[in-house]
Amino acid sequence: MFGEIFERANEAYLVLDDCLAVIDVNRAASKLLSTTIDVQRPVFAEPLNMRAAMVRASSTGEWTPLRVELAGADRKHTFDARLRRLRDEPGISRYILSLDKEGADRGAFRALREEVIHAHARSMAIEVTKKRLANVIDATEAGCWEWDVKSGEIWVNDHWRNMLGLEGDNDDTYSIHQWKLLCHPDDLGKGWAHIKTCLRGKAQMRVLEARVRHEKGHWVWVAINSRIVERHGDGSPAVIAGTQVDITQRMEHERALEEKTVQAEAANIAKSQFLATMSHELRTPMNGVLGMLDVVLKTPLTEQQEDYIDVARSSAQSLLRVLNDVLDFSKLEAGAVEIENTPYSPSHLIDQVAALLRPRAEEKGLQLTVDTGLDIPEMLVGDSVRLRQVLVNLIGNAIKFTDRGRVEVSAGVGKTRNSDQLMITIRDTGIGISEAATPKLFKHFAQADSSMSRRFGGAGLGLVICKQIVELMGGEIGVRSEERIGSAFWITIPARIPADCDVKSADRSDKNMASEAMPAARAMHILAADDHPVNQQVLKLFLASAGHEVVMVENGQLAVEAMDMHSFDAIIMDIEMPVMDGVAATKAIRARTGADSETPIIAVTAHALSGDREKYLDAGMNDYVSKPFNQEELQAALARVVEGRAVDHADTRTERAENATVAASAR
């Protein structure tokens, strides 16, 4: 519409800026002036008069009459004219000049004026948008590019060139071949795949992370975002545009983080290996010490000799308790402890722990009572082994720090907004804890008072381990105490009800557990493999005293060879041995073709870390006993494997360690 009105108007129109430059002219003006005057660059003979008229037109907002003199080729040409300022954006002035007052098409002029105003407004909006876009690009420091697929030319902006150190390159167009020369050889393959995907037009937006060569020779990591912005009639890409962002710092940070992760994993592996080594090196001699003390206690002794042996045995068990605490703490710190979720009876578990510790309380003249509420479910799902460990520690501490009075254990179920919680509280009338010392209780290697470690002993790890275990089970632990009055330690853990099938499984497990202490029903022919001389002697004495015939070898290879010469009812296999270890020997035995390939094998080892037992069972072993062990535990394991009742008895190992702890503390 603008072009039609502008061209058909009878009056000669010129659109000027405030510098007297012509913005546009119509056909009438061209016809009027073209014979003698340069229509596109007219020269006003009296520019001062023109500027004065512009001032008047700006102030009144109305038409301002004037006479205009334009310089021609040989003389001046004078016109009657009128001038009016157009409504423009602030800071910008536009004027329309009419040179044919008498023949003016006023209706057409009004329409023309509106079109000029609208066209100018659109032009200004475009300019504002361009400026905003330029500001955004400058702020993000993104390199911009546009690829004309047909011509192959790639236009780039200054940020793109600066990113690669090409500031001095005045050329703002490149080609795909030039980009190929800039791309890192290792990234060229995925770069070409990115380009081909864009050309196939299968994805509207694509992102590529690659390295490109800087002008100074080093590599710059960039993230290239590509988008199809124009397509041909057949749908194929015509123009692909996008941005390029420097991500070198991000990639260096990710690489540094990855290296730190690898280092942390290596450190964790080293820590686990150290724990495994320490466990083996400490438990192996402890097995010899405790085993031989058990053997001596079964020989004729004077009363004084028996007292001496009891003292040595309780000291060894105390050392074993510290060893177990340190290993448990290290495993918890390394995240190597997994919480099991199996059915158990909370009331039965609490009664068992109380029965275990009651003799120790009675020796001190203390009452140990248990009150389990009627609201406690018969069965719950959780880790009974770890819960038992926590209760033994808390109730044992209550007895340990109470000289007179009583220790009360109570349990019930409480409701929270999210779930039911099993709450167990252990109250005592002992020495209590001062308000200042309470915050230290659950810190590493700390006790409420340094004098307590001298009076009562302990490494200061028990409550730390309890706290970490309870939190792993999704619960909380806390204490309320008053000095010289007593303390109340409490724990809460989720009270989850098991499914019926889980209850039946737990019942079967309880029956198996009840029978696992049953001694072997008959004398057996047993192969035992262990490289440690003291442990060999302990095994021989334990087995011989139970009526078994023993063939002892010192490594796995000899154990495999012994299978060629004898038939055995069971095999007791150490894990860490020279020549061939216990796992390799077990696999070799299981690979045999005869009936002896099914001979039950019991792993007897000082390795007692998380995952050890599963590894041995996966290798084909039937059961697992960790060092140090006693004769009854070995007999129970033999009964299980020979009669086909080998079960998961991890809680037996924990119970055995706790029994040893209680026995040591009682003495």
H helix or E strand, kind and range, residue 240: strand 237-246
Output the six-digit token pair for 589. 């035995």
CB 212 within 8 A of CB 219: yes
Instruction: Tell me the C-alpha distance between 38 and 30, whole Å.
Output: 9
User: Residue 520 has what DSSP assignment?
Assistant: P
Buried b (16+ CB within 10 A) or exposed e, 4-27: ebbeebebbbbbbeeeeebebbbe
C-alpha neighbours within 13 Å on the C-beta side of residue 265: 6
Looking at mean pLDDT, say which of 16-30, 423-437, 611-625 comes out highest.
423-437
* pLDDT score of 554: 94
CB 312 within 8 A of CB 293: yes
Task: Average the pLDDT over each of 240-254, 423-437, 442-456, 587-601 and give the range with the smallest value.
Answer: 442-456
Q: 3-state SS string over 323-380?
A: HHHHHHHHHHHCCCCCCCCEEECHHHHHHHHHHHHHHHHHHCCCEEEEEECCCCCCCE
Give the confidence band of 644 by pLDDT, cuts at 50, 70, 90.
low
Buried b (16+ CB within 10 A) or exposed e, 578-594: eebbbbebbebbeeeee
The per-residue DSSP string of 30-85 comes to HHHHTTTS-SSS--BS-HHHHHHHHHHHHHH-S-EEEEEEEE-SSSEEEEEEEEEE
Going by their DSSP bridges, the two strands 623-626 and 476-482 should be labelled as unpaired
Instruction: Tell me the C-alpha distance between 610 and 371, whole Å.
Output: 34
What is the rounded end-to-end Cα distance, in angstroms, of the chain?
A: 110
Task: Average the pLDDT over each of 69-73, 417-421, 427-431, 510-514 and give the range with the smallest value.
Answer: 510-514
Global pTM reads 0.49
C-alpha neighbours within 13 Å on the C-beta side of residue 87: 7
Q: Which residue has the higher pLDDT, 593 or 361?
A: 361
Task: Average the pLDDT over each of 261-275, 450-464, 628-642 and give the range with the smallest value.
Answer: 450-464
Output the six-digit token pair for 143. 């390199």
- Across 340-366, average pLDDT: 91
Q: Which residue has the higher pLDDT, 30 or 120?
A: 30
Output the six-digit token pair for 162. 């600066």
- Residue 47 φ then ψ, to 5°: -60, -30
Tens digits of residue pLDDT in 589-636: 999 888 888 999 999 877 655 566 778 888 899 998 888 888 888 888
* 501: Cα separation from own chain's centroid: 34
Instruction: Tell me the C-alpha distance between 41 and 19, whole Å.
Output: 12
* pLDDT score of 455: 47
* pLDDT score of 424: 96
Average pLDDT value for the chain: 80
Going by their DSSP bridges, the two strands 342-344 and 367-372 should be labelled as unpaired
Output the six-digit token pair for 628. 């140090």
| pLDDT above 90: percentage of residues in the chain | 25
C-alpha distances (whole Å) from 181 to each of 175, 196, 325 are 10, 17, 63
Does 645 have pLDDT greater than 50?
Answer: no
- By CB atoms closer than 10 A (0-12, 13-18, 19+), residue 315 is middle
Residue partners of 294: CB distance under 8 A and separation at least 6: 313, 630, 631
Does 513 have pLDDT greater than 50?
Answer: no
Report the length, in residues, of the chain.
667
Instruction: Tell me the C-alpha distance between 571 and 127, whole Å.
Output: 90
From the list 190, 298, 363, 264, the residue with the least C-alpha distance to 538 is 298
Task: Average the pLDDT over each of 26-35, 157-166, 541-550, 651-660 and give the range with the smallest value.
Answer: 651-660
Q: Which residue has the higher pLDDT, 111 or 289?
A: 289
Calculate the CA dihedral of residues 188, 193, 244, 236 and round it to 10 degrees.
Answer: 140
- By CB atoms closer than 10 A (0-12, 13-18, 19+), residue 464 is buried
Q: Which residue has the higher pLDDT, 140 or 665?
A: 140
- Across 13-21, average pLDDT: 85
- Across 435-453, average pLDDT: 64
H helix or E strand, kind and range, residue 18: none
Does 81 have pLDDT greater than 50?
Answer: yes
Instruction: Tell me the C-alpha distance between 464 and 471, whole Å.
Output: 11
CB 64 within 8 A of CB 57: yes
| pLDDT above 70: percentage of residues in the chain | 79
What interhelical angle do 384-400 and 462-472 show, nearest 10? 150
Does 408 have pLDDT greater than 70?
Answer: yes
Give the confidence band of 501 by pLDDT, cuts at 50, 70, 90.
very low
- Across 522-531, average pLDDT: 90
CB 340 within 8 A of CB 383: yes
Q: E strands of 429-530, at which residues?
A: 476-482, 486-494, 525-529
Q: Does residue 628 have a cis peptide bond before it, meaning omega lies within 30 degrees of 0?
A: yes
Q: Which residue has the higher pLDDT, 488 or 440?
A: 488
* pLDDT score of 662: 43
CB 97 within 8 A of CB 78: no
Task: Average the pLDDT over each of 159-168, 236-245, 518-527 and give the range with the smallest value.
Answer: 518-527
Give the confidence band of 422 by pLDDT, cuts at 50, 70, 90.
very high
Does 499 have pLDDT greater than 60?
Answer: yes
Give the confidence band of 511 by pLDDT, cuts at 50, 70, 90.
very low
